[in-house]
């Protein structure tokens, strides 16, 4: 992970606007980008178009963090990045190779399993995908691997069985579920970086509360900045996918301009307790 990374720009749901918005995010100063080889929600190829223009103009590939995901067939539409008849190892490698092509790069900083096959356990197919990803780490094609949309049962199973341990967990983070406390704590204890998404939209009651509004006024920032800073201070790496260029710049800049005190952190942490 690049030391300077405090925020990831996510590219979901942007369709044909992806190229323009990734270009704007690079200009705004974002150095980390999240995508998935899942045309239903992400356009890696358009993100790659934006990256290529910057690479051609001198942007150093090693100065940015690129993360993508392998998505099981249940999460895809008809535009598959692999042959559905192939083994899970072959599917993982096909998806990965097409990601590299889409992004105009020869390695990924991070590669995630988008989600496990079942909500209550990890099956052999998931472990086969993981082992294929471990092979990519061993070959130097991927720096770190991780998991998304998982619960504590999945995380413990992957962590216990893995030869290459997960470095990232990317989850939707709900304040009314104690900010995904169990998974987040496990990550903190095991040197796994927790990436939180939907920090605003999953937590409207917190984001739009008087309490958070008062804190934001104190530091002359927005309530969104307070939520992102809170996530950062409790040891999460937040994602934003804003399409608003002003917010893109201000969210990225403001997060470094203030520090919540312990009382404010615990007020947000324990919002629903
Ligand atoms: N692993 C997964 O399954 C998964 C699932 C969902 C998301 N993600 C990742 O996480 C990224 C971020 O997604 P997200 O769910 O956190 O939502 P988001 O894309 O950051 O934002 C969702 C909504 O919130 C608004 N918004 C964002 N920032 C705002 C701000 N500062 N002030 C006011 N409104 C704001 C956006 O409107 P504007 O565009 O107008 O700002 C948009 O309507 C995605 O792009 C994707 O990379 C991963």
Give the domains, in start order, of the chain with CATH numbers.
8-202+236-242 (3.20.20.100)
State which of 75, 113, 197, 208 you would mutate to test the pocket of ligand 1, scoring each by most atoms of that ligand within 8 A of its C-beta: 197
- What is the reported pTM? 0.97
The total of other beta-carbon atoms located within 10 Å of residue 254's CB is: 20
Which three-class secondary structure state does DSSP give residue 143? strand
How many of the other CB atoms lie within 10 Å of CB of 126?
Answer: 22
Residues near 64 by beta carbon (within 8 Å), at least 6 away in sequence: 2, 31, 32, 33, 51
What DSSP letter does each residue of 175-231 carry, written as one string? GGGGGGHHHHHHHHHTT-EEEEE-TTGGGHHHHTSHHHHHHHHHHTS-HHHHHHHHH
Distance of CA 142 to the CA centre of its chain: 16
Contacts of 211 (CB under 8 A, 6+ apart): 267, 268, 271
Distance 85 CA to ligand 1 centre (A): 34
* DSSP secondary structure, 98-133, as one string: HHHHHHT-S-EEEEEES--SSSS---HHHHHHHHHH
- The atom of ligand 1 lying closest to the CA of 148 is 1
In sequence order, the β-bridge partners of residue 214 are: none
Written as tens digits, the pLDDT of the chain (273 aa) is 444 568 999 999 999 999 999 999 999 999 999 999 999 999 999 999 999 999 999 999 999 999 999 999 999 999 999 999 999 999 999 999 999 999 999 999 999 999 999 999 999 999 999 999 999 999 999 999 999 999 999 999 999 999 999 999 999 999 999 999 999 999 999 999 999 999 999 999 999 999 999 999 999 999 999 999 999 999 999 999 999 999 999 999 999 999 999 999 999 999 998
Is any atom of ligand 1 closer than 6 Å to the C-beta of 250? no
Q: 194 forms bridges with which residues in the sheet?
A: 169, 236
Rounded to the nearest whole angstrom, what is the distance from the C-alpha of residue 187 to the centroid of ligand 1?
A: 23
Q: Which atom of ligand 1 lies nearest, measured to the CA of 112?
A: 1
């Amino acid at each position: 992970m690049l030391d300077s990374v405090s925020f990831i720009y996510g590219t979901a749901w942007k369709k044909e606007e992806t190229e323009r918005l990734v270009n704007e995010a690079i200009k705004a100063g974002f150095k980390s980008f999240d995508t998935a080889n899942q045309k239903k929600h992400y356009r890696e190829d358009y993100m790659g178009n934006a990256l290529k223009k910057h690479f051609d103009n001198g942007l150093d590939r090693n100065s940015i963090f690129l993360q993508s995901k392998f998505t099981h067939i249940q999460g895809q539409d008809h535009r598959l990045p692999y042959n559905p008849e192939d083994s899970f190892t072959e599917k993982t490698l096909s998806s990965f190779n097409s990601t590299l092509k889409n992004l105009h790069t020869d390695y990924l900083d991070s590669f995630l399993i988008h989600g496990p096959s079942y909500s209550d356990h990890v099956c052999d197919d998931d472990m086969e995908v993981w082992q294929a990803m471990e092979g990519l780490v061993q070959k130097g094609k991927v720096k770190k691997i991780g998991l998304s949309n998982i619960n504590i049962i999945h995380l413990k199973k992957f962590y216990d069985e893995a030869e290459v341990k997960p470095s990232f967990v990317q989850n939707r983070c709900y304040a009314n579920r104690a900010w995904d406390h169990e998974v987040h704590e496990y990550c903190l204890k095991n040197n796994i970086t927790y990436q939180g998404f939907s920090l605003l939209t999953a937590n409207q009651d917190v984001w739009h509360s008087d309490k958070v509004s008062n804190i934001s006024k104190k530091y002359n920032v927005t309530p969104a900045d307070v939520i992102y800073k809170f996530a950062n201070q409790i040891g999460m790496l937040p994602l934003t996918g804003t399409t608003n260029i002003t917010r893109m710049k201000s969210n990225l800049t403001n997060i470094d301009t203030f520090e919540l005190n312990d009382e404010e952190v615990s007020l947000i942490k324990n919002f629903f307790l």
